[in-house]
Structures are given as C-alpha cells and as structure tokens.
Amino acid sequence: MSQDNKKTGWTFEIFPPRRTANISSIYCTLADLKKLKPDFISVTYGAGGISQGSQTVEIVNAVKNHYDMDAVAHMPCIALTKADAEQQLRAFKNVGVNKILALRGDLPADGSIPQGEFKHADELVRFIHSFDDFSDFKVYAACYPEKHPDSPDWESDIHYLKQKVESGVDGLISQLFFSNKTFYDFMDRIRSAGIDVPVEAGIMPVINSRQIERMVQLCKASLPEKFCCVMNKFSDNPDAMFEIGCAYAVDQVIDLVAHGVDGIHLYTMNNPAVAARIYGSVKAVIGRV
C-alpha cells in the first residue's frame, strides 16, 4: 500500500433494526453518525438470512434525503429473480440512491439453496450495468482478507475476485479482520493479480463477548492470540470490554492509516457512541488524514 499523505476516508455500516417498530431508533443513530462526516453510510439488506429489504430502501432514503449523507445500499442477489432485482434497483434509484454493494448474500442457516436467478455477485454486477437506466450507478463488492470461507484456495478466491471486479466494480469493501498483517498480505495478493480498485478495510469494534461468538460463526474471522487473551480476561466486565474493544480498533485503524489504506469501513453495529469514540481517538492522534 502507498504511504503518501493521502486522506483516508471513513465509511460506516449500519443494519435495519430487528423489529420494524424500532426503525425510529436508526434515525438517532444517523443523526449522531452525521457529525463524523463519513464518505458514505452503507445499509445492510437481510444480513444473516433475515429479510429486511423494504427497510433498507427506507433507511437509505433517510440517509440520503433527510440526513444529507451519501448512501450505499447492500443488495444480496442469491434469492432474487431478475425481475425482483430490477424492481429493487428501481426502488433505490427512485429515492436517489445510485451506489450499490452487490453481494451474493449469506446462505440460509438451514442449508437450503434459495431459488433465485443469480448464483454469484459478479452476475448482479453485470446485470446492473446492462441497463441504460442505471448507467450512473457506482457498484461496490465484497472481498475477504482471509479468503471467502467457500473458496477452496487462494488461487480460486483471487481468480473470482478479479472476475468480479472486471465485471464492473468501482471499489471493494473488506470483510472484518483483526490482524492487520492478514490485510496487508491480502492487499499484496490482489495488487499482484492486477486488481487495482480502492479497498475499504473493514473494522469491527468488539465490545461484548456475544458479538465474538456470532462473528466467528458468521464470518469465520480468526482471532489473534492477543485479542482472545484480553477478551477472555474481561468478558464479564462491560465497561472494560467497551474500552478494550475501542482501543483495539483504534490501534488497528492508526496502523492501517500509517500504511496508506484507501479507506476505513467501520461496522458500527448501530452504535454511534463506539463510532464516535474510535473516530475521535484516531483523529486526536493523526487528524483526519
């Protein structure tokens, strides 16, 4: 990665509340995140197999038109027909959102295979670009510093990532990781393979032990020994966990910025206090670089 004095952008990820009735809580979150002037807010869609598509439209609409921030709508395609996908894209366009994170989507926990017309994210990327109506869309895609759990080896992972980028991806957002060395090795691999789009580094502050179990289960992220040691020691002390989780993320971000990362994508878990703490601590050390 380059080590010049370029600015590192911040982007934040939020998810629709589990209960539709709680949607107003997200507006308080957005008001707080706006103070941190992110490059964009991205909004998940049915992550973990829960279907929340209409809420994603409602929330990106609020991000863009009420809070005046740039919005990226996540769009998993594995369960969609092409007609559904077109309808979904038009719903985003109708509220002025033209930035999409094109995803395959998590497979249902029961092992069933959704009956959609897309198998992989690259097909959705090509589908979006096949419409004149969506010619102004900017398309992002996901990448995995520890390789995707379904990839048999690195060669296959990088091959399909390159294919996905070449189908029309403007930027990548990484899966969360806890070892920066893993991310730097990944960047070396993709740059050597000729993948040259910007990559946002996914950082998730871990502030409680429940989160760890869920993350390991969902993302298969590996946890460094140093991380496990402190988390185990303080897992039943919520105040300590908050401080340790924020400090770990701050340490990661400062190191990433020093290595010239393209951007920081913070998985906020809808917790603006954590985002503000991390952003503020990094800014105190190195300014908005």
- Residues belonging to the active site: 13
Residue 159 Cβ vs ligand FAD, minimum distance, rounded to whole Å:
7
For ligand FAD, which is the closer residue by CB, 149 or 238?
149
Cβ proximity to ligand FAD: between 8 and 55 the closer is 55
Cβ 42 to ligand FAD shortest distance, Å = 7
User: Phi then psi for 46, rounded to 5 degrees?
Assistant: 60, 25
Residue with tokens 């629709």: 16
Beta carbon nearer to ligand FAD, 153 or 225: 153
Q: Hunting for tokens 């594995």 — which residue is that?
A: 78
Crossing angle for the helix pair 238-258 and 180-192, to the nearest 10 degrees: 30
DSSP state of 49: G
Q: How far is the CB of 281 from ligand FAD (least distance, A)?
A: 23
Mark out the alpha helices in the chain (DSSP H runs). Answer: 23-34, 53-61, 82-94, 121-129, 154-166, 180-192, 209-219, 225-234, 238-258, 272-286
Q: Which is nearer to ligand FAD, 86 or 106 (CB)?
A: 106
Catalog residues that contact ligand FAD under the rule CB under 6 A: 44-47, 74, 76, 101, 103-106, 120-122, 142, 148, 150-151, 156-157, 160, 164, 173, 175, 202
Question: Pick from 11, 6, 8, 37: which is nearest to 256 by CA?
Answer: 8
Give the 3-state secondary structure of residue 220. coil
Minimum CB–partner distance for residue 191 and ligand FAD (Å): 18
Q: Which residues contact 184 (CB under 8 A, 6 or more apart)?
A: 1, 259
Question: Angle between the 154-166 and 180-192 helix axes, to the nearest 10 degrees?
Answer: 60
Query: Which CB atom, from 215 or from 258, has the smaller least distance to ligand FAD?
Result: 215
- Minimum distance from residue 185 beta carbon to ligand FAD (Å): 17
Residue 194 or 280 with smaller CB distance to ligand FAD: 194
Cα separation, 191 vs 211, whole angstroms: 32
d(C-alpha 19, C-alpha 219), whole Å: 23
281, 287 contact by CB (below 8 A) = no
Q: How far is the CB of 39 from ligand FAD (least distance, A)?
A: 15
For residues 204 and 215, is the Cβ–Cβ distance under 8 A? yes
